[in-house]
Structure 1
């Protein structure tokens, strides 16, 4: 049995589908039955679990040959760092009590740093807690996900301006499509060869590094309009993040992360990492996001017209 936590997410659902195509039994771990509907349609067993509840996590991993674990940043929590560490502690405790033969944890570029990297320090904590759990332990560290730009694409389309915390705008940085991460995760879980080292560290990023200028150009080409990248001044970051609905603690994690990014601290750890590269281009990811945004806008407009 292959157990996939976060199976309804951008990475997890791709991993679950790839494992099912390979003929493996998959237990998809989700937060509620609604999230499990599409996964059940492809033959996954559905498990409902709360990463803060040890009993539900223990139940989810029962009988597992391999586990893919994800501890997401809890955006709605007033103190997301503390909440995520609790999730990690619960997951690590359950896995230590009942270790699978193979364990893969979704981690982040920069996870080797114990401090000074904002959100990424939480992935450092994840790795330190899980490293001793399984004899075949893999940390899959991914670059910044391309779909993260989806949060500001509506602003870019409405105003013709793409706000960026990446400074300077011309700086190239690594990024990757979530689907490529999901496919690689499934490939690594299916790899039956004995691990040469444990934990094994594998990194993934896209074939080409991009800049905020590249992102704005790509959005503009897809939207058939001029989009200009805007370097948000450092002093305006907290207000912008608060305006986007982030609490003070969460906003601080983000500002610390981008300070580390802009200082060049968030990158692949080349000395120990097996490097892999995804094949999905930025334009492919953005085309899907924009198509969904257009469909949602059309649906809202149709519903509003019908209600009149």
Structure 2
């Protein structure tokens, strides 16, 4: 049995679907029962669990041969970092007690750094806690997800300006499509062909690096509207993020993350990671996001 946490999300769905295509039994773990319908339709067993509740996590992984872990940032919480660490503690305690043979954790570029990387520091904490588990561990560190630009699209399409915290605008950075992460995660869960060190660290990004200028140019091409990238001045980051609805703690996580990005600290860990590359282009991801933006604008 392969247990996939966060199975209703972009990455989890692709992992569950790939494992089902390979003929494997999959238990798809979701937060709310109504999220399970599409997963049940492709043959998944559905489990409902709250990552803050070690008991429900333990039930979800009972009898698992392999577990794919996802601990998302609780964006709506007043202190997302504290809430995520609590989630990690509870879920890792459950996995430690059950001791499934294989565990794959979805992590981030830069997770080797213990501090000064904002949100990515929390994935360092996740990896550190998981190292206490007696299992074959894989840390799949993904570059910035292309889907993250979704929250900027309404503004960019309405005003023709794509705000960017990536400085300078022509700086190339790694990015990846969520579907490529999900498919690779399934491949790694199925890979028992060679002896592995534990933890096995694998990085994944797209086949080419992009800049904020590239993102704006691509968005203009797929939308048919003029879009230009614009640096958000460093001194205005916190104000802009708070105006976007983020609390002070969440805004600090974002500003610390992009400070680290712009300093070149969010990248592949030299000499440690196996490197993999996704094939989904940025244009395909942005084009798929546009109908959702149009539907929101129409309401």
Residue 235 of structure 1: aligned partner: 235
CA 1:151–1:195: 2 relative to 1, 3 Å:
farther
Q: 1:19-78 deviations in whole A, cap 9, x for unaligned?
A: 011111110100111111111111111111011111101100100000000000000100
Structure 1 runs, 4 residues or longer, greater than 6 Å off:
none
Q: Distance in 2 between matches of 1:155 and 1:294?
A: 12
Residue 165 of structure 2: aligned partner: 165
Q: Distance in 2 between matches of 1:135 and 1:100?
A: 6
Q: 1:140-171 deviations in whole A, cap 9, x for unaligned?
A: 00000000001101100000000000000000
Unpaired runs of at least 5, structure 1: 301-308
Q: CA deviation at 1:243?
A: 1.1
After TM superposition, the structure 1 = structure 2 runs for residues 173-252 of structure 1, keeping only pairs within 5 Å, are: 173-252=173-252
Q: CA deviation at 1:134?
A: 3.8
Residue 85 of structure 2: aligned partner: 85
Residue 305 of structure 1: aligned partner: none
Q: Distance in 2 between matches of 1:227 and 1:238?
A: 24
Residue 306 of structure 1: aligned partner: none
Residue 270 of structure 1: aligned partner: 270
Residue 7 of structure 1: aligned partner: 7
Residue 50 of structure 1: aligned partner: 50
Unpaired runs of at least 5, structure 2: none
Q: Distance in 1 between matches of 2:200 and 2:132?
A: 12
SS of 2:129's partner is helix
Q: CA deviation at 1:261?
A: 0.3
- 8 Å CA contact 1:10–1:178 kept in 2: the answer is yes
Q: Distance in 1 between matches of 2:38 and 2:209?
A: 33
Q: Distance in 2 between matches of 1:114 and 1:195?
A: 28
Q: Distance in 2 between matches of 1:195 and 1:37?
A: 37
After TM superposition, the structure 1 = structure 2 runs for residues 122-161 of structure 1, keeping only pairs within 5 Å, are: 122-161=122-161
Q: CA deviation at 1:297?
A: 4.5
TM-score under structure 1 normalisation? 0.95
Q: Distance in 2 between matches of 1:91 and 1:134?
A: 15
Q: 1:214-242 deviations in whole A, cap 9, x for unaligned?
A: 00000011111211100000111111111
CA 1:22–1:145: 2 relative to 1, 3 Å:
same
SS of 1:67's partner is strand
Q: Distance in 1 between matches of 2:196 and 2:183?
A: 22
Q: CA deviation at 1:3?
A: 0.3
Residue 288 of structure 1: aligned partner: 288
Residue 24 of structure 1: aligned partner: 24
TM-score under structure 2 normalisation? 0.98
Q: 1:268-307 deviations in whole A, cap 9, x for unaligned?
A: 1131100000000000000000133234545x3xxxxxxx
Q: CA deviation at 1:132?
A: 3.0
SS of 2:10's partner is coil
- 8 Å CA contact 2:116–2:256 kept in 1: the answer is yes
Q: CA deviation at 1:195?
A: 3.6
Q: Distance in 1 between matches of 2:179 and 2:268?
A: 19
- How many aligned residue pairs are there? 299
Residue 61 of structure 1: aligned partner: 61
CA 1:155–1:297: 2 relative to 1, 3 Å:
closer
- 8 Å CA contact 1:103–1:134 kept in 2: the answer is no
Q: Distance in 2 between matches of 1:131 and 1:209?
A: 31
